[in-house]
Amino acid sequence: MTYLFNQPSAFAAELIEGFVAANADKVRQVSGGVVRSTRSQPDTVAVIVGGGSGHYPAFAGLVGQGLAHGAAMGNLFASPSAQQIYNVARAAHNGAGVLLLFGNYAGDVLHFGQACERLRAEGIACEVLAVTDDVSSASHDERMKRRGVAGDLCVFKVAAAAAEAGDDLATVLKKAQHANDRTRTFGVAFSGCTLPGASHPLFEVEKGRMALGLGIHGEPGISETAVPRADELAEIFVDRLLSERPADVTQVAGQRVAVILNGLGSVKYEELFVVYRRIAQLLSAAQLQVVEPDVGEFVTSFNMAGVSLTLMWLDDELETLWRAPANTPAYRKGSVLIAEPLSAAECEEISEETLPQASTASQHSARRVLELLEAVAVMIQRHAGQLGDIDAVAGDGDHGIGMERGVLGAVEKAREVAARGAGAGSLLCRAADAWADKAGGTSGALWGVALTALGTALGDSAAADAPRVAAGVQDAKEGIMHFGKARVGDKTMVDVLVPFSDALSAAVAQGASLTEAWLRAAAVAEQAAQATAQLVPKVGRARPLAEKSVGTPDAGAVSLAMIVNTVGDLLKEHSASEQGA
């Protein structure tokens, strides 16, 4: 369990504040995460890493000279939003472009991809790379679908050392890709982690058993076995990883490897050393040369009891970059000169937000949109538990919590900007950023895309009429399918959004009012959501447990149907009151 916290909802924000206070000589806080508080070499690539909180030292602990220039930090186990990533990248940019590095999780892929597009649109060169080192999460033939776990550190270290050496963005990316191609990790877990305020772990492993290949958020493993002796676990690790060597490594004997034995939160250092003792023996027997091994905690899972082993197969270039010095709050290597601190003026962050001028009609529409968001928030809070139960059948059970965080964040921001005279478009776009910030994960990213698309279509100059709303919903559909890569039949919210959007556009084209068109489309959405019960998931975290989900609708599809029906009910009330008047 977690012993020390105040309000669970404030835990992530408070841990960042405390982390920065303890490491002010190396990092400073910016909106969305942390960046170096020391002067970086001008006109060099900035390496930005990130992901959910709860994995310390990843990601904030790896910011400093010789390693990352900044870390975008989401909520516990939730990806940072595109806005957070963008903020961190802008603050850390040194003039030669930005490389965004993260683990290969759907929410991170979405958010970092959106941030990259935004940076490029502003003229900042940007590239992205998702780390894919977890051999248990997909077959060798589908290795680009693999998760990023403790091998993150290898890729981050190589990229950052290349950036420090003055390589251009294309070269830094190429070297990071090379490191990713040559990095493999296999992990096990003995028990799950319990987040602040929770009464039970996110997942459980039967006492005396060990889950092989279980992910750092509780994603399904490949099998379970009795907990072995330390030497036997070392043999499992080494056998599995030696069978997974990169294609360009034709033989094991004589190769050099970087090694990370990583504790996932509750396994003590002394236990790790006992396991590493046997790992070192086995690697020596295989005639492998170990280069500067690391034993400790590098990518954790809050207080999970688990261990992973990572090998990065080295060549001359990778070895040079792996050995390069680094000095961060949680990771030190070699001899590093003390970096020059930034001045107080350079550390100041400009956070002033301006709103576009809005017409009276659009401001009136904005107030209506706020009422709709507030009604949706009430509904989501009432059904959060139900949505979590649906999601838990084949997922991690956090959909309801994420939706609740997202909609409450959106309402708070919408109230703020409405009071300042925002139009409907600006209100929705600001609410979109807040939803993505607070919710995190894939769901947060997709709802951020949807509300941004709708807000952009409505704009701030005219009332939110039926054609604009229908066009905005269609843009939201296209945006979600572009970023999320899901299609109808994959068992996602797309299975509801597509028929809803098509029905709404068709009704508007036939001359129906916004209320009538929305109600017709909402009925279609409800039927589509229930129909997802018979589908087999083809994307997302539910994919590994695909058959288990048959008979249960998709949580994202259900929540979308609930939202459009809630909006429809309120539109109907507004229409009735206006007609009565």
Each residue's pLDDT tens digit, 13-24? 899 999 999 999
Strands 223-226, 183-191: pairing kind: unpaired
Mean pLDDT, residues 564-570: 96
- The pLDDT of residue 542 is 46
- The pLDDT of residue 547 is 63
- The pLDDT of residue 107 is 83
Is position 140 annotated as part of the catalytic site? no
- The pLDDT of residue 71 is 98
- Helix axis angle, 424-439 to 360-392, nearest 10°: 20
Nearest to 252, CA basis, from 276, 278, 283 = 283
Split at pLDDT 50, 70, 90, the class of 7 is confident
168 touches 186 (CB < 8 A): no
Backbone φ and ψ of 518, nearest 5°: -65, -40
CB atoms within 10 A of CB 224: 15
d(CA 289, CA 530): 57
Residue with tokens 């895309």: 449
d(CA 429, CA 547): 38
d(CA 486, CA 557): 12
Write the CA distances from 127 to 241, 283, 534, integer angstroms.
29, 35, 39
Q: How far is CA 55 from the centre of its chain?
A: 12
Mean pLDDT, residues 206-228: 87
d(CA 442, CA 92): 25
| 372 compared with 219, residue with greater pLDDT | 372
Split at pLDDT 50, 70, 90, the class of 540 is low
Which residues are CB-neighbours of 296 under 8 A, at least 6 positions away?
Answer: 261, 262, 263, 269, 272
Most confident range, picked from 252-261, 342-351, 426-435: 252-261
d(CA 215, CA 203): 11
- The pLDDT of residue 498 is 97
- The pLDDT of residue 396 is 63
- The pLDDT of residue 436 is 87
Residue 389, CA atoms < 13 Å, CB-side half-sphere: 4
d(CA 167, CA 181): 19
Strands 332-333, 223-226: pairing kind: unpaired
Is residue 238 scored above 50 in pLDDT? Answer: yes
Residue with tokens 């990248």: 89
Exposure string for 127-151, b = 16+ CB within 10 A, e = fewer? bbbbbbbbbbbbeeeebeebbbbbb
Q: What angle do CA 510, 512, 515 make, to 5 degrees?
A: 150
- Helix axis angle, 494-509 to 514-531, nearest 10°: 150
Q: What angle do CA 262, 191, 302 make, to 5 degrees?
A: 55
- The pLDDT of residue 550 is 83
Nearest to 489, CA basis, from 439, 429, 531, 427 = 531
d(CA 237, CA 234): 5
- The pLDDT of residue 533 is 92
Which of 178, 217, 383, 399 is catalytic? The answer is: 217
- The pLDDT of residue 580 is 61
pLDDT above 70 covers a percentage of the chain that reads 96
At residue 213, the 3 state secondary structure works out as: coil
* Average pLDDT over the chain, rounded to an integer: 91
pTM: 0.80
Backbone φ and ψ of 66, nearest 5°: 85, -10
Encode pLDDT of 246-279 as tens digits. Answer: 988 989 999 999 999 999 999 999 999 999 999 9
Is residue 161 scored above 90 in pLDDT? Answer: yes
Residue with tokens 């597009």: 117
Strands 294-296, 223-226: pairing kind: unpaired
Mean pLDDT, residues 152-156: 98
> Residue 462: enclosing H or E segment and its boundaries?
none
- The pLDDT of residue 433 is 87
When computed from its CA atoms, the radius of gyration of the chain, rounded to whole angstroms, is 25
- The pLDDT of residue 126 is 98
225 touches 209 (CB < 8 A): yes
Which tokens is 163 given?
Answer: 């950036």
- The pLDDT of residue 337 is 65
Is residue 241 scored above 50 in pLDDT? Answer: yes
Which tokens is 520 given?
Answer: 């017709």
Encode pLDDT of 293-338 as tens digits. Answer: 999 999 999 999 999 999 999 999 999 999 999 999 999 998 876 7
Most confident range, picked from 148-152, 440-444, 457-461: 148-152
Backbone φ and ψ of 130, nearest 5°: -95, 130
- The pLDDT of residue 548 is 64
Which residues are CB-neighbours of 367 under 8 A, at least 6 positions away?
Answer: 418
d(CA 42, CA 38): 12
Strands 70-76, 46-53: pairing kind: parallel
